[in-house]
Structure 1
Amino acid sequence: MNTIITIGRQYGSGGKEIGKKLAEYYNIPFYDKELLKVAAKESGICEEMFENFDEKPTTSFLYSLVMDPYALGYNAASFDMPLNQKVFLASFDAIKKVADEGPCIIVGRCADYALKDYDNKLNVFIHAPMTFKKSRIQEQYEVPEAKVKDVAIKTDKQRASYYNYYTSKKWGDLKSYDLCIDSSILGIDGTVELIKQAVALKEKNL
């Protein structure tokens, strides 16, 4: 196993659970919010700052940095970069750091874009109809039934805005990923099995 799996996901579709099951199967590191700790440690920026800006869109100035995100460097002494921009670039550095250490699973945070030059990655997007997501959101996140749909829509809008803002691609668009899977069709475990098969085929063809 030499593949880095990045997982984009709709809220409640099971992307995190699928990622954890894959990490357990392959016995490789799993990064979701764990990535924030890595970024904080490497950059020296307080972890709470990463939590505040995590997968949330910020100012339009960042668009220009996306074209060459390392042109300035978040520690550049000659440029007083706003904190949110430092956090964004530090997160990208953290993603590359963990990817350089070996195969792993990374959920969200534009990981597919950060690793666009890595040949050994498989970019997956997990989605599902609201009927499937509602019960999972109620059970796992303890969201009242009356608020489930609103919370799901709001969370996905934030994730889409963040992704669309910092990358040259569109969140959830087929062209942005190697695999787009409706987790309601095969279920969580079936989706895990499908991704395992994709990884095996990819590694066979490398």
Structure 2
Amino acid sequence: MKTNTIITIGRQYGSAGRQIGRTLAEELGIKCYDKELLERAAKESGLCEELFENHDEKPTNSFLYSLVMDTYSFGYTSSAFSDMPINQKVFLAQFETIKKIASEGPCIMIGRCADYALADFDNCLSVFFHADLQTRIRRIAKIYDLTDAKAKDRIIKTDKKRSSYYNYYTSKRWGDADSYDLCIDSGKFGVDGSVELLLNAIQLKEKGYKKAIY
């Protein structure tokens, strides 16, 4: 299946969002960016890749959103960028890289506020994956050989970081249906079912399907 759509994936920890994204990318024959996005952002910005890993989807209390967005308009090669705190540099470099990648053609981007960065792209489909807590506990416990208690603790902490990061850097709320084009319960549909749902959603979007709601 050929596509012109860019898919951004937000996900609860343990909901298999990354696996679904990579499986979908294989089906569509397009690239999937997760950690790869950090590598490219580091290369293009000239910042150390370790900085991106250390700040990856982690909130910060010192970030002044309006200031950063004003500075973004000057690009990260400007003198204003060089004077920024490191967390602001990392965010802006990622923001810029997400837009550059999207301009190159269809792809899948996982996390990192990609849906917000690409809000002006008409060919973007934003998706959020969630699942009930017990399903996610079983998945994480199995993957990382953890007790249920430790898996639950990891899930709660990771979701809290992702939520804080997203809510802080965007004007939307992490996990809220209003923040995305489509929300899918991967616990009910599984990986294959979720991929099938997305393939159908992409086809409908590219057909320009619209139905009035009364």
- Output the CA distance in 1 between the equivalents of 2:69 and 2:107: 26
1:45 aligns with 2:47: yes
What's 1:114 paired with? 117
Question: Of 142, 147, 150, which aligns to 1:147?
Answer: 150
- Output the CA distance in 2 between the equivalents of 1:142 and 1:135: 10
Deviations 1:7-35 (A, max 9, x none): 00000001000000100000100001110
Runs of 5+ unmatched residues, structure 2: 210-214
- Output the CA distance in 2 between the equivalents of 1:69 and 1:17: 35
* Structure 1 range deviating more: 77-86 or 101-110: 77-86
Task: Check the 8 A contact 1:74/1:81 in 2, yes or no.
Answer: no
Following superposition, the deviation at residue 137 of structure 1 comes to: 0.5
What's 1:34 paired with? 36
Secondary structure of 1:8 counterpart: strand
Listed as ranges, the matches of 1:155-194 within 5 Å are 155-194=158-197
Matching residue's letter, 2:164 = S
Runs of 5+ unmatched residues, structure 1: none
Following superposition, the deviation at residue 121 of structure 1 comes to: 0.6
- Output the CA distance in 1 between the equivalents of 2:40 and 2:47: 10
- Output the CA distance in 1 between the equivalents of 2:187 and 2:29: 25
- Output the CA distance in 1 between the equivalents of 2:35 and 2:67: 24
1:127 aligns with 2:130: yes
Q: CA RMSD in A?
A: 1.5
What's 2:7 paired with? 5
* Structure 1 range deviating more: 192-201 or 72-81: 72-81
**Number of residue pairs the alignment of both structures matches:** 206
* Structure 1 range deviating more: 46-55 or 76-85: 76-85
Secondary structure of 1:61 counterpart: coil
1:104 aligns with 2:107: yes
Task: Check the 8 A contact 1:128/1:184 in 2, yes or no.
Answer: yes
Task: Check the 8 A contact 2:68/2:88 in 1, yes or no.
Answer: no
Question: Of 82, 87, 99, which aligns to 1:84?
Answer: 87
Identity between Structure 1 and Structure 2 (%): 66
* Structure 1 range deviating more: 128-137 or 6-15: 128-137
